Amino acid sequence: MNSKISEKDKKTWEEFLSNDQKLPDKDNFQSKIKSKKIRSLDLHGKSLDEANQIIENFIRKSYEDKVHKLIIVTGKGLHSSNEKDPYVSKDLGILKYSIPNFLKNNAELMGLISNISEASIEDGGSGAFYIFLKKK
């Protein structure tokens, strides 16, 4: 590595130091971009009633905290024992299907929600979904 600094580099450095133009603060800039908060909730192993109560509280608290995006992990229901019970719907008993259905049937919660969609692979794919909350 060359330890000598050229005259051109010295001149450029002196011009930089004498200039009062403010440089953008990259750290502060990044925090402004990431102002949209994201929270996640894992409902694996919860009963339907537990999951409904947990998600209702989670949505209300997140809305109050001005969170924009929620990632709800329900799993795919692969280990569910619902298939063994002939009196339980195979699809509607699984949290993957029942939670969005619960939300869509709750007008008060839907007043806080702008959109519900399936999650991307990195966030859980078909075993998870997103809830986008309205601005407070």
The answer to whether the CB of 109 falls within 8 A of the CB of 131 is: no
Q: Give residue 92's pLDDT.
A: 47
**Residue 113, pLDDT score:** 96
Instruction: Give residue-wise pLDDT tens across range 80-134.
Output: 455 555 444 454 447 888 899 999 999 999 999 999 999 998 888 888 999 999 9
Checking if the pLDDT of 40 tops 90, the result is yes
pTM: 0.64
Under the banding of pLDDT at 50, 70 and 90, the label for residue 1 is low
The rounded percent of the chain whose pLDDT value lies above 70 is 74
The two structure tokens encoding residue 5: 């600094």
